[in-house]
Amino acid sequence: MSSPSRPLRIAVIAFDGISAFHLSVPLLVFGENWEDIGIPRCEVRVCAAETGMLSSNAGIGLTVPFGLEALSDADMVIVPSWHRLDHAYPLPLLTALQAAHARGAEIVGLCLGAFVLAEAGLLTGLHATTHWAYADLFARQYPDVLLDATVLYARDGSILTSAGTAASLDCCLHVVAQKFGAESAQHLANRLVVAPHRTGGQAQFIEQKLPDVGEQDRIGALIVWLEKHVADTHSLASLAQRAMMSKRSFSRHFMQVVGTTPIEWINTRRVTLAQRLLESTPSGIDAIAQACGFNSTLSLRKHFKSVLRMSPSAYRAQFGHAEWIVAD
């Protein structure tokens, strides 16, 4: 795919009636100059299956400079959304996506863009997500896709899908972290004034009865405290005691507010800490496991691979200094 001699080539698919917000997310993350925070300049091409002036839902006309030929040498293709879910998908677009995937390009479907990827047959047998409000429709139309409507984004091999609207930004920041390192993603999130990694998933946004405000406040206060003590030893009993709840009540309310279990949340935050240490320090894997609160190197490797689909050593080989690399 991309090499040090040229920038990462990204094709972003526009269409008539596109949401201006959905289009702006990948253009903001990948189309701006962020070289001062360690993100190499990308070559972003906005393209479309249609020709001529395109409309947007904001009443702004779009002159798209590229056609689908831009997908032929793109390292990544992003479908930022879609406007019709009645199988009205241009065949040339589906064919171009299939060809890009076949030659090894990374394919990203943001929000309802997952429908386009599924229609192209790229999600069959794979894990994927989309906006929770359209999950039932997606499941009916594409029963062979392993849909999980509780997560903010899902990666399966070279294909990445995200939940709705703002989760597109979460997904793009994840791509930045994967390609350019967690530290750069952290800096970019700071520039954009957003969280580099939101806790939980879109389950927290699915319409359901929320706990009392007082209970949400206690969970929120606990999370603030945990961010500063993520490497400490914790148990469900100790966390429930700090939140002044019974273990059963605490587990239920934490899941409702955050979208995941307390232990899963802690392990994910520990992995994020491990990423930063692998990038910025020469510490060995054993020392990093201890510094992040994992009780063994095996535990670090297990959770690291579960979250990032690679080993700690492979991550350091990609984002750390060469002299720090040791066999995993």
38-59 pLDDT, tens per residue? 999 999 999 999 888 999 988 8
pLDDT tens column, 306-327: 887 788 988 888 777 655 555 4
Residues 101-108: what's their mean pLDDT?
97
H/E run at residue 47? strand 43-48
The residues with which 55 forms a beta bridge, in sequence order, are none
Neighbouring residues of 58: CB distance < 8 A, sequence distance ≥ 6 = 19, 20
Res. 21 pLDDT band, cuts 50 70 90: very high
Instruction: In whole angstroms, give the CA distance from residue 306 to residue 104.
Output: 23
pLDDT for 70 beyond 50: yes
Residue carrying the six token digits 């991550």: 315
Residues 81-91: what's their mean pLDDT?
86
CB 81 within 8 A of CB 22: yes
Neighbouring residues of 172: CB distance < 8 A, sequence distance ≥ 6 = 25, 26, 29, 30, 110
Tokens of 321: 């200094």
pLDDT tens column, 268-309: 889 988 988 888 888 999 999 999 999 999 999 999 988 877
Please state which of the ranges 24-33, 174-183, 190-199 shows the lowest mean pLDDT: 190-199
Instruction: In whole angstroms, give the CA distance from residue 127 to residue 124.
Output: 9
Tokens of 245: 């709840």
pLDDT for 263 beyond 80: yes
Instruction: In whole angstroms, give the CA distance from residue 51 to residue 41.
Output: 28
Q: Which of 143, 148, 145, 198 is nearest to 169 (CA)?
A: 198
